[in-house]
Amino acid sequence: MEYSSTQSEIIFSTQPEIDIESIIGQYHAGKVYVATEENVFKLWFDKLPFLKSLPLVVIPSGEENKKLSSVELIWEFLSSSGSDRKSLLINVGGGMLTDLGGFAASTFKRGIDFVNIPTTLLSQVDASVGGKTGINFRGLKNEIGTFNIPRSVIISSSFLQTLDKKDLLSGFAEMIKHGLIYSSEHFYELCNVDFDNVDLKSFQDIIRHSVQVKEYFVQQDPTEKNIRKALNFGHTIGHALESLLLEQHRPVLHGYAVAWGMMAELYISRAICGLDPETSDDICEWIGSLYGNISISADDFEELYKLMGHDKKNEAGRINFTLISSPGNFEINQECSKELIFESLRFLQNRKNPEND
């Protein structure tokens, strides 16, 4: 199997318990280790006998464990089990675990190979693909990390059967983003997904289309110097909303914040990139029907603006937006006045929550 430093091999598997062993066996002769998280270990490892038979370390689940002491646990485990530079680490879990395990592997003995097996939709379509690894540090998300491409990513929608609707929707927001920035075909395919009745087998093809969009950007621009910034659509405002809600002790899943961030950035896209207002309204209606609407007050706007200013994607002190001119067509490095940002926040604030109708 071919491997290049800017490209992972992405494998879509319908029977992970069988495929994982043959995939790993085919290309890796060195020692193999596993890092996973508690919830995934409990739910899945009895059904994954090959992985269970390997030396493994289990990290407590939860974003709060995406921290340096968890990286130390993985380093200690690798070191004390005799791992060398030819060893392979298999990371099995959600985005927290694949980011953490990727970072531990990237830094252990100056870097060993790793494979990601993402078990949440968010990590399948986003976190585990594209080589961003890292941990949170001093309250800042992904403050410490590396760009380091996993050798392979093994994706199976069968893992999603243990997720609830909210977790599925959290990952789905990144898929909507992929459609909106690069593929109207993918976007309209997503509009037909029935969330109360998801057929996971056919959903695997939809996941594949989404991952293809992400891979397109990663291959062109692995270290985010230019067009990979397109993947930040919805995230400039989305990350600020996510941080604000965390500060206010009413945390939300990442994808919900991104969904609301996309609504606000669609509003800005109308003003700056000429996005058709009717199309924008229709998309916002649909996103609102899935994610509801966020409750924020005008008193939050200054804090949100300050949080946007801290985004590590900003350049030369200016807030950097990715916007769209139509579904499937993005524009990077867009500047936006404070006034228009506040207008977009008012737009979010004034939307009616369909659940309250």
In the bound state with ligand GLY, the residue whose beta carbon lies nearer, of 57 and 259, is: 259
151's CB contacts (< 8 A; 6+ apart) are 3, 8, 9, 27, 88, 113, 114, 115
Binding of ligand GLY at residue 130 (CB under 6 A)?
Answer: yes
- CB neighbour class for 31 (10 Å; exposed up to 12, middle 13-18, buried from 19): middle
Q: Between residues 16 and 131, which has the closer beta carbon with respect to ligand GLY?
A: 131
Task: Tell me the closest approach of the beta carbon of residue 231 to ligand GLY, in angstroms.
Answer: 4
Regarding 59 and contact with ligand GLY (CB under 6 A), the answer is no
Nearer to ligand GLY, 179 or 288 (CB): 179
CB of 227 to ligand GLY, least distance (A): 10
Kindly state the smallest distance separating residue 310's Cβ from ligand GLY, in Å.
17
Residue 65 or 322: the one with the smaller Cβ distance to ligand GLY is: 322
Residue 171 or 288 with smaller CB distance to ligand GLY? 171
- Name the minimum Å distance from CB 20 to ligand GLY: 24
Nearest CA among 134, 165, 160 for reference residue 148 = 134
- Least distance (Å) from ligand GLY to the CB of residue 228? 5
Q: Of 99 and 300, which CB lies nearer to ligand GLY in the complex structure?
A: 99
Please provide the distance, in angstroms rounded to a whole number, between the alpha carbons at the two ends of the chain: 54
Number of C-beta neighbours around residue 86 at 10 A: 12
- Strands, E, within the chain: which ranges? 9-12, 32-37, 56-59, 88-93, 113-118, 132-137, 140-147, 152-155, 321-326, 329-334
Q: Please say which residue, 130 or 179, places its beta carbon nearer to ligand GLY.
A: 130
DSSP sequence for 168-217: HHHHHHHHHHHHHHH-HHHHHHHHT--TTS--HHHHHHHHHHHHHHHHHH
For residue 281, what are the CA distances in angstroms to 53, 221, 314, 347, 353?
Answer: 52, 32, 28, 11, 15
User: Closest approach of Cβ 150 to ligand GLY, in Å?
Assistant: 13
Please list every residue from 274 through 333 that binds ligand GLY, using CB under 6 A. none
Output the smallest distance, CB 330 to ligand GLY, in A. Answer: 13
From residue 200 to residue 239, what is the string marking binding to ligand GLY with x (rule CB under 6 A)? Answer: ------------------------x---x--x--------
Size of the site for ligand GLY (CB under 6 A): 6
Nearer to ligand GLY, 130 or 145 (CB): 130
Number of H helices, E strands in the chain: 14, 10
What residues numbered 97-126 form the site for ligand GLY, per CB under 6 A?
126
What residues numbered 60-89 form the site for ligand GLY, per CB under 6 A? none
Contact assessment for residue 292 and residue 354, using Cβ atoms and an 8 Å cutoff: yes
Residue 35's beta-bridge partner residues?
57, 91
Task: By CB under 6 A, tell whether 178 contacts ligand GLY.
Answer: no
Least separation in angstroms between residue 142's CB and ligand GLY is 10
Instruction: Report the residue closest to ligand GLY, judged by CB.
Output: 231
> How far is residue 140's CA from residue 295's CA, in Å, rounded to a whole number?
23
Q: What binding mask, one character per residue, do residues 132-151 give for ligand GLY by CB under 6 A, x or -?
A: x-------------------
Q: Which two tokens stand for residue 182?
A: 């690069």
Measured at the alpha carbon of residue 275, what is the angle toward residues 269 and 281, in degrees to the nearest 5? 90
| CB of 178 vs ligand GLY, minimal distance in Å | 10
Q: Which residues of 308-338 are buried (b: 16+ CB within 10 A; e: fewer)?
A: beebebeeeeebbbbbbeebbebbbebebee
Measured from the CB atom, the residue of 37 and 126 that comes closer to ligand GLY is: 126
Nearest to 10 by CA among 202, 176, 175, 218: 218
For ligand GLY, the binding residues (CB under 6 A) are 126, 130, 132, 224, 228, 231
